[in-house]
Amino acid sequence: MSLLDEPHHDGSDLYVLERPDEAGGEAAVRVRVPPEVETVAVRWVEDGEARAARAEPDGDGWWTARFPVRNPTTRYRWLLAGGELGYAWLNGLGVVAHDVPDADDFVLSLDMGGPAWHLESVVYEIFPDRFASSGLDVDAPAWAVRRAWDDLPEGRGPNTPFELFGGDLRGIEAHLDHIERLGANVVYLTPIFPAGSTHRYDSTTFDRVDPLLGGDEALESLVAAAHECGLRVISDLTTNHTGDKHEWFVAGERDLYLFDESGDYEAWWGFKSLPKLNWRSPELRTRIQGVTRKWLQPPYSLDGWRVDVANMTGRTGNTDVNAEVAPTLRAVLNEDSLLVAEHFHDYRPDFAGWHGAMNYAGFSRPVWTWLRGELEIDYFGLPVAMPRLGAGASAATMRAFRAGVPWQFVLHSWAILDSHDTPRFRTVAGSRDRQLVGIGLQMTTPGVPMIFAGDELGLEGEWGEDARRPMPWDRPETWDTQLFEEYRRLIALRRSSDALARGGIRYAYVDDDVIAYLRETRDERLLCLASRADHPPVRVPFTSLETLYGDDAEIDGAEAVLPADGPSFHIWRIT
């Protein structure tokens, strides 16, 4: 039995036929199983108690079941009996031949998720100080260490937070055509408020845009120009902490900050320059809501927020009100605003209220460990170098982090190969060929791709600060133009396909050096093949494949024989 013959269900519309939008409705779900399965049932949790209902056969291996939806989120899984399976459960991890807890179940949510425009997007992250300068005539603050544009960041040292290269919002506006040409359609700006560093996660106020970036007028102009081009703009909101020079902290507004039993203030990871905000305070929540709302309204009209260290907001020692953070922010969003959480590890227990998360755990890590080159790189703070693992481990990790959360959350989470906090993926992969395999995975996995500015040019960096190198606008000879063109092709495919934006995913073949999978809706099916090295040819049961990217497949009787070279990435439409 091939992987395509195994039982399968996911939260996409191909498998969830009816999804109520309010409590008291009924869901209709279906599952694909082998013909020898004799009994299928759906088991769900309602008001804290497990219930079950028999499914009915629906032809061609499909079984359909219905269950009432009484709670905001409903966890469910499938019971399969008969044939070679005997007795098994199907949950988000796959088929399990023993009883299982509920944590990895499928999740149906009454929250319809993020705005529709986001699913059809490719996000382009900009670290404002390093993207482009308009030559703004502004005095540097006392903390700044002026750097020439073509210098490399020191990367690690006492000057690292203070290196000022001089990028600004007018500079970004002048290069919107580059983002348009690439094909990305959402600009994500890391923090833009005044601060005591160039990363600006230590804000001194939320009431205005940093004059070093051009001030409020520059943001208004940038967003208006972006909207005129059909681009959206979101920015970065720090809800966990401020800088110790923030006007609230300096004014002694103790109710807004957390203090320990000794009377000293709590700080993020013990960094006393970053005092933690007190989410037990109603006044703090009101003020954060005011900030959140203000910049989404005209004349600024941002389209949403990425929230810094969302997983740590409202959590310190015995205090844990983190579950109240996202609903507090959602309450003041515009109807079509976006809210994405930064989260470096298992975001699944914290998903409620967020539209999605930055998917380091379920995408970045499994791609890095599969496609990494020879460079020894620290592995997310663990006391080991980044391991090199096979595709089976990579696919299993991706599947594990899609389990236990609503499908809407999966689709609205960001598929990221790198960011301003990580090594550049080009450096991790060690070659353009392996980088392109990663980009192919990024553009075809469930989730919204997010590119860090400069990835498309082949910029490198061995760790986060080293990766924040200025864009080499005046040195086009350093650009990897072939890489740029491949980015354009893959982005265009991602943005033109409903299956890639919303479809389910089924694995067709997985071995150490190769992964083949389907992305599918009721109207479109795509077959993707990613390989990190030459491998034995993969055969799949399709006889008509239209090549969208990469090489043609060979048809051999009732099967297609897929290309066996690597590193390589291919996409075909199943017709």
H runs (alpha helix) in 251-315: 282-294
- Mean model confidence pLDDT for the chain: 97
- Lowest mean pLDDT, pick from 2-6, 65-69, 337-341: 2-6
425 and 529, same structural domain?
no
Residues in Cβ contact with 235 at an 8 Å cutoff, skipping those fewer than 6 apart: 188, 189, 190, 191, 192, 295, 302, 305, 306
DSSP classification of residue 140: P
103 and 124, same structural domain?
no
Q: How does residue 155 score in pLDDT terms, banded at 50, 70 and 90?
A: confident
Tokens 């791709």, residue located: 449
Instruction: Dump pLDDT digits (tens) for 407-432.
Output: 999 999 999 999 999 999 999 999 99
Decide which of 468, 496, 524 is a domain's last residue: 496
Output the domain CATH number for residue 316: 3.20.20.80
pLDDT of residue 304: 98
Decide which of 94, 109, 124 is a domain's last residue: 109
259 and 357, same structural domain?
yes
390 and 509, same structural domain?
no
388 and 339, same structural domain?
yes
pLDDT of residue 48: 97
Across the range 551-569, mean pLDDT stands at: 97
The answer, yes or no, to whether residue 2 has pLDDT greater than 90, is: no
For a pLDDT cut of 70, what percent of the chain falls above it? 100
Q: How far apart are CA 489 and CA 564, in angstroms?
A: 22
DSSP classification of residue 264: P
Across the range 134-163, mean pLDDT stands at: 94
Determine if the pTM surpasses 0.85.
Answer: yes
Residues in Cβ contact with 286 at an 8 Å cutoff, skipping those fewer than 6 apart: none
Q: How far apart are CA 25 and CA 18, in angstroms?
A: 10
Structurally, how many domains does the chain consist of?
3
184 and 83, same structural domain?
no
**Please, are residues 71 and 64 in contact by the beta-carbon 8 Å criterion?**
no
81 and 135, same structural domain?
no
Tokens 């497949």, residue located: 553
Q: How far apart are CA 457 and CA 475, in angstroms?
A: 11
3-state secondary structure at position 321: coil
Domain interval for residue 82: 3-109
pLDDT of residue 381: 81
Residues in Cβ contact with 202 at an 8 Å cutoff, skipping those fewer than 6 apart: 195, 196, 241, 242, 243, 244, 245, 246, 273, 274
Residue 553 β-bridge partners: none
Q: How far apart are CA 511 and CA 521, in angstroms?
A: 25
305 and 385, same structural domain?
yes
The answer, yes or no, to whether residue 125 has pLDDT greater than 70, is: yes
Residues in Cβ contact with 214 at an 8 Å cutoff, skipping those fewer than 6 apart: 134, 136, 168, 169, 170
Measure CA 345 to chain center.
Answer: 12
pLDDT of residue 382: 86
Closest CA to 52 of 111, 131, 105: 105
Output the domain CATH number for residue 569: 2.60.40.1180
Q: How far apart are CA 490 and CA 560, in angstroms?
A: 23
Q: How far apart are CA 449 and CA 333, in angstroms?
A: 23
Instruction: Dump pLDDT digits (tens) for 507-518.
Output: 999 999 999 999
Closest CA to 460 of 484, 427, 482, 438: 427
Output the domain CATH number for residue 23: 2.60.40.10
Tokens 């515009």, residue located: 334
- Lowest mean pLDDT, pick from 5-14, 102-111, 152-161, 503-512: 152-161
pLDDT of residue 379: 82
191 and 151, same structural domain?
yes
Q: How does residue 1 score in pLDDT terms, banded at 50, 70 and 90?
A: low
The Cα angle at residue 261 between residues 260 and 262, in degrees rounded to 5: 90
Decide which of 496, 521, 550 is a domain's last residue: 496
DSSP classification of residue 113: -
What are the DSSP calls for 506-536, one per residue? EEEEEETTEEEEEEE-SS-EEEEEEESS--P
What are the DSSP calls for 368-417, one per residue? HHHH--S---EETTEEEEPP---HHHHHHHHHHHHTTSBHHHHHHSEEES
The amino acid at 139: D
Q: How far apart are CA 514 and CA 370, in angstroms?
A: 10
The answer, yes or no, to whether residue 267 has pLDDT greater than 70, is: yes
DSSP classification of residue 129: G
293 and 145, same structural domain?
yes
Helix axes 432-444, 481-496, angle to 10 degrees: 10
Phi, psi of 22 (to 5 degrees): -155, 155
Q: How does residue 167 score in pLDDT terms, banded at 50, 70 and 90?
A: very high
Q: How far apart are CA 283 and CA 140, in angstroms?
A: 33
The answer, yes or no, to whether residue 483 has pLDDT greater than 70, is: yes
517 and 491, same structural domain?
no
228 and 92, same structural domain?
no
Q: How far apart are CA 30 and CA 18, in angstroms?
A: 10
pLDDT of residue 380: 79
Residue 517 β-bridge partners: 507, 528
pLDDT of residue 453: 98
Across the range 58-70, mean pLDDT stands at: 97
